[in-house]
């Protein structure tokens, strides 16, 4: 019969073989001397010659793992008894560890440790965190991190247990640096600014980059710390003013200062969007006051309080080839009361900055309405001439003063688009200044249009409100070269192309959309198989993950790439590439509209009076124009898609859960502002949130395409 000691030894021998897992170290310690009474083969191999069972844990495992004793119940410091904790070994590798107190096989108490090397997992996790939450140029937290950090404070702020300030600022003259010395120099200025501010312990951990040259400082405190809001504001204004400095580099003649706008919470808002909006208004006030200063938001600065609604959207202007020439910035500043031009320009300025329109690296042009503020020297100097075309609405009779205004705009370097041309106001003195002319083909006599177009071959004429194929053909026959409207998004009734007639690549794209549109679990294996069968898709996916922008090197398999992306990023990637692939022979505007609808609705979802599910709203927008890309009826296409019944009903009827939202998208795109306002009031949305969400959705799309 075996002795108790022999039995224990035999069991330990069996355990050593059973627990011989290639990535799991298991060892047992007990007694005052912390004797090592068991170690599996993997644990022994990890220590090599350093392991001496007779010298105990202190000279073996505790010597290899930093702070092991601090996490041991029998350690010198008593241990903190954490269920799981991280350790580093002497070579710097990271381990996840746990320990359990138990009675060993001989009945005596012992502590069993389990450790697993997670160095590679942690590197990937840290990299993904960096991609999601850190700005890749400066290394500081980005807009998403700011949103998450503020969201964690919202409930405390709402309960009046927290107050604080948001300081929004950008670099004065930064555009001049980029235009004169190039974007590489601009990037160096941004890094220099960030390093300078981070070196100040008061700013370190409070700084975020929103994008471009726009940054935010966020500070929050208990209301009791300062005793009053006035004292808190004075403290932070003095602190934030220390950031005012002239930022430059050797051998360049331009220096950048800061214009800083401050808003405070909870007085100026309870959500980040509203607080940032008011800080943005204060920042522009700092600029108009001379720049290089701090300005605190005041209610009198807020034009949104004077006017009921402010909406801005981008309507496409296309060539006959249906490639995009540019966009008309269409806005509604009020209900026909007050100085509409002032609201128009301030709104456009904020839109230009928010969308980064002047930084988009392409040849797109943007039409903006004339405002008297364009005659301001500061505005005139900062408005990019190569991207913005000024639209002027012609009266029936042109006066001398109006001709002088047009001439002054041309002298300032602006190109002009004349709107409202007809026989009596199309005079030579005016047409001599024009680069573009706009006609509404339904409201202007066709013979009159042709005559003006033929007599002015140097002017590019744009047909407006071209929202059907018939209107497009009539305008083309009249001699127009550019077309503003949504004719490209209208399917033809006779289109009945079947799925079986699609190219193999389009079928793959459709299959990907099917698998990503499900409400349930995404089958990564099936998605990997589809991508692997398509060389182009495989190449694009692996190129993205191995690019310098993402930086996950040596991603060599599709399954590994899909796993790295994760469900949400994978859905986004599929949405962009699948739509672009499906609509390869369609105008890019079709892809743009679909993706902006999807993101626009997703951003609005949390703000509805009756909360909506963001993922479903994203899918509704994504699928809303897919039938046009496939050139097939909606009902036929949806037979191929595993979407929920509520999405199907919304796309096919006017009675679905999301049917009103789809009509809202169309009204917003067509600038039917009264119908937009009705939808907003019905769903108890905030007009500013709607405008901000549209701008954010458009910026999101621009960033996707740029990257």
Residue 251 has pLDDT above 90, yes or no: no
Which residue bears the tokens 């697993």?
116
Mean pLDDT of 222-250: 91
Query: Which one is predicted more confidently, 390 or 556?
Result: 390
The DSSP call for residue 14 is H
Of the given ranges (476-490, 549-563, 595-609), which has the lowest mean pLDDT?
549-563
The predicted-structure confidence for 117-176, as pLDDT tens digits, reads as follows 888 888 877 777 777 788 889 999 998 899 889 988 988 988 888 999 999 999 998 988
Give the Cα separation of 417 and 461 in Å (integer): 9
Give the Cα separation of 349 and 334 in Å (integer): 17
Could you tell me the two tokens for 702?
Answer: 């621009």
Of the given ranges (99-103, 545-549, 678-682), which has the lowest mean pLDDT?
545-549
Question: Quick one: CA torsion of 551, 556, 557, 563, rounded to 10 degrees?
Answer: -20
CA angle 659-663-666, nearest 5°?
145
Chain mean position to CA 706: 12
Query: Which one is predicted more confidently, 408 or 292?
Result: 292
Mean pLDDT of 238-259: 91
Chain mean position to CA 27: 48
Could you tell me the two tokens for 589?
Answer: 């505007």
User: What pairing do the DSSP bridges indicate for beta strands 109-117 and 94-103?
Assistant: antiparallel
Could you tell me the two tokens for 259?
Answer: 């214009």
Could you tell me the two tokens for 3?
Answer: 């002795």
User: What pairing do the DSSP bridges indicate for beta strands 214-221 and 163-171?
Assistant: antiparallel
**pLDDT computed for residue 335 by the predictor:** 40
Q: In what order do the strands lie in the sheet with 109-117?
A: 35-39, 24-30, 109-117, 94-103, 85-88
Confidence band of 240 (pLDDT split at 50, 70, 90):
very high
Confidence band of 635 (pLDDT split at 50, 70, 90):
confident
Inter-residue long-range contacts of 67-73, CB under 8 Å, 24+ positions, other chains counted? 68/97, 68/113, 71/97, 71/99, 72/29, 72/34, 72/99, 72/111, 72/113, 73/99, 73/101, 73/111
**pLDDT computed for residue 341 by the predictor:** 35
Of the given ranges (70-74, 337-341, 671-675), which has the lowest mean pLDDT?
337-341
Query: Which one is predicted more confidently, 217 or 627?
Result: 217
Give the Cα separation of 307 and 337 in Å (integer): 8
The DSSP call for residue 420 is S
Mean pLDDT of 62-88: 76
Instruction: Report the length, in residues, of the chain.
Output: 707
Give the whole-number percent of the chain exceeding pLDDT 90.
Answer: 17
**pLDDT computed for residue 436 by the predictor:** 93
Give the whole-number percent of the chain exceeding pLDDT 70.
Answer: 77
Query: Which one is predicted more confidently, 260 or 40?
Result: 260
Mean pLDDT of 432-436: 88
Confidence band of 75 (pLDDT split at 50, 70, 90):
low
Residue 554 region, left (φ>0) first, then alpha (ψ -120 to 50), else beta? left
Sign of CA dihedral 647, 652, 654, 655: negative
Which residue bears the tokens 């381990």?
95
Asked if 484 and 466 touch (Cβ cutoff 8 Å), the reply is yes
Asked if 600 and 557 touch (Cβ cutoff 8 Å), the reply is no
Beta strands in 127-280 (DSSP E): 163-171, 207-211, 214-221, 258-265
**pLDDT computed for residue 308 by the predictor:** 41
The predicted-structure confidence for 660-681, as pLDDT tens digits, reads as follows 999 999 999 988 888 998 999 8
Q: According to CATH, what is the number of the domain 131-301?
A: 3.30.70.270
User: What pairing do the DSSP bridges indicate for beta strands 365-369 and 324-332?
Assistant: parallel
The predicted-structure confidence for 279-290, as pLDDT tens digits, reads as follows 988 898 898 888
**pLDDT computed for residue 548 by the predictor:** 46
Give the Cα separation of 313 and 668 in Å (integer): 7
Buried b (16+ CB within 10 A) or exposed e, 174-189: bbbbbeebeeebbeeb
CATH topology of domain 4-117: Beta-Lactamase (3.30.450)
Could you tell me the two tokens for 368?
Answer: 């903006």
**pLDDT computed for residue 498 by the predictor:** 44
**pLDDT computed for residue 338 by the predictor:** 36
Residue 28 has pLDDT above 80, yes or no: yes
CATH architecture of 311-489: Alpha-Beta Barrel (3.20)
Confidence band of 369 (pLDDT split at 50, 70, 90):
confident
**pLDDT computed for residue 2 by the predictor:** 41
- Name beta bridge partners: 166: 218, 263
Give the Cα separation of 562 and 238 in Å (integer): 49
In angstroms, the Cα distances linking 178 to 250, 354, 384 are: 15, 18, 12
Give the Cα separation of 41 and 15 in Å (integer): 10
Asked if 683 and 611 touch (Cβ cutoff 8 Å), the reply is no
Residue 462 has pLDDT above 80, yes or no: yes
Could you tell me the two tokens for 177?
Answer: 């640096």
Judged on CB neighbours under 10 Å (0-12, 13-18, 19+), 231 is: exposed
Q: Where are the domains of the chain?
A: 4-117, 131-301, 311-489, 499-706
Residue 487 has pLDDT above 70, yes or no: yes
- Name beta bridge partners: 217: 167, 207
Asked if 249 and 259 touch (Cβ cutoff 8 Å), the reply is no
Closest of 180, 374, 382, 189 to residue 287, by C-alpha: 382
Closest of 384, 381, 390 to residue 355, by C-alpha: 384
Mean pLDDT score of the chain: 79
**pLDDT computed for residue 243 by the predictor:** 94
- In 3-state terms the chain splits into helix, strand, coil percentages (rounded to 5) of 50, 15, 35
Segments in 134-216 forming alpha helices (H): 143-151, 154-158, 174-181, 183-198
Closest of 349, 632, 638, 666 to residue 486, by C-alpha: 666
Residue 332 has pLDDT above 70, yes or no: no
**pLDDT computed for residue 144 by the predictor:** 85
């Amino acid at each position: 019969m075996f002795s108790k000691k022999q039995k224990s030894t035999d069991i330990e021998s069996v355990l050593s073989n059973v627990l011989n897992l290639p990535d799991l170290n298991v060892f047992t310690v007990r007694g005052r001397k912390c004797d090592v009474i068991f170690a599996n083969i993997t644990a022994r191999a990890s220590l090599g010659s350093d392991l001496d069972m007779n010298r105990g844990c202190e000279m073996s495992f505790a010597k290899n793992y930093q702070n092991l004793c601090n996490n041991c119940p029998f350690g010198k410091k008593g241990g903190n008894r954490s269920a799981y904790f991280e350790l580093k070994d002497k070579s710097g590798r990271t381990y996840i560890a746990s320990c359990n107190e138990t009675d060993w096989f001989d009945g005596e108490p012992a502590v069993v440790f389990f450790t697993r090397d997670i160095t590679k997992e942690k590197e990937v996790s840290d990299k993904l965190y960096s991609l999601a939450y850190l700005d890749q140029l400066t290394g500081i937290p980005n807009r998403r991190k700011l949103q998450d950090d503020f969201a964690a404070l919202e409930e405390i702020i709402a309960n009046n247990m927290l107050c604080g300030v948001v300081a929004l600022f950008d670099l004065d003259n930064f555009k001049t640096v980029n235009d004169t010395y190039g974007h590489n120099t601009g990037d160096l200025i941004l890094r220099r600014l960030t390093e300078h501010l981070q070196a100040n312990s008061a700013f370190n951990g409070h700084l975020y980059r929103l994008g471009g040259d726009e940054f935010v400082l966020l500070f929050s405190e208990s209301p009791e710390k300062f005793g009053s809001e006035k004292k808190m504001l004075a403290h932070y204004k003095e602190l934030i003013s220390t950031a005012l400095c002239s930022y430059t580099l050797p051998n360049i003649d331009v220096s950048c200062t800061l214009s800083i706008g401050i808003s405070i919470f909870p007085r100026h808002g309870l959500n980040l969007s509203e607080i940032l909006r008011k800080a943005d208004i204060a920042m522009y006030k700092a600029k108009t006051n001379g720049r290089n200063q701090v300005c605190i938001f005041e209610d009198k600065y807020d034009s949104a309080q004077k006017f009921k609604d402010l909406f801005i959207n981008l309507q496409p202007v296309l060539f006959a080839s249906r490639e995009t020439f540019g966009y008309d910035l269409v806005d509604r500043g009020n209900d026909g009361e007050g100085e509409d031009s002032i609201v128009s320009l301030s709104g456009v300025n904020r839109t230009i900055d928010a969308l980064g329109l002047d930084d988009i690296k392409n040849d797109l042009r943007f039409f903006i309405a004339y405002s008297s503020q364009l005659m301001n020297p500061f505005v005139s100097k900062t408005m990019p001439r190569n991207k913005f075309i000024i639209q002027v609405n012609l009266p029936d009779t042109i006066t001398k003063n109006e001709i002088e205004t047009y001439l002054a705009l041309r002298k300032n370097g602006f190109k002009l688009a004349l709107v409202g041309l007809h026989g009596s106001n199309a005079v030579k003195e005016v047409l001599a200044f024009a680069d573009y002319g706009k006609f509404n083909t339904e409201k202007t006599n066709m013979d009159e249009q042709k005559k003006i177009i033929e007599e002015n071959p140097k002017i590019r004429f744009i047909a407006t409100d071209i929202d059907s194929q018939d209107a497009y053909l009539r305008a083309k026959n009249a001699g127009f070269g550019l077309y503003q409207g949504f004719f490209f998004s209208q399917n033809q009734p006779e289109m009945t192309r079947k799925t079986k007639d699609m190219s193999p690549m389009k079928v793959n794209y459709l299959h990907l959309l099917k698998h990503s549109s499900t409400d349930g679990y995404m089958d990564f294996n099936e998605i990997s198989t589809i991508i692997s069968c398509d060389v182009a898709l495989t190449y694009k996916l692996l190129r993205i993950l191995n690019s310098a922008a993402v930086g996950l090197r040596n991603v060599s398999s599709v399954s590994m790439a899909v796993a790295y992306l994760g469900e949400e990023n994978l859905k986004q990637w599929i949405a962009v590439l699948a739509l672009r692939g499906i609509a390869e022979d369609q105008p890019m505007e079709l892809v743009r509209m679909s993706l902006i609808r999807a993101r626009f609705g997703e951003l609005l979802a949390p703000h509805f009076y009756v909360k909506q599910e963001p993922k479903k709203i994203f899918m509704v927008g994504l699928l809303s124009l897919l039938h046009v890309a496939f050139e097939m009826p909606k009902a036929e296409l949806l037979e191929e898609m595993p979407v929920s019944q509520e999405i199907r009903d919304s796309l096919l009827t006017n009675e679905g859960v999301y049917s009103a939202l789809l009509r809202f998208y169309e009204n917003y795109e067509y600038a039917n502002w009264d119908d937009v306002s009705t939808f907003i009031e019905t769903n108890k949305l905030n007009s500013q949130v709607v405008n901000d969400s549209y701008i954010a959705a458009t910026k999101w799309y621009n960033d996707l395409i740029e990257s």
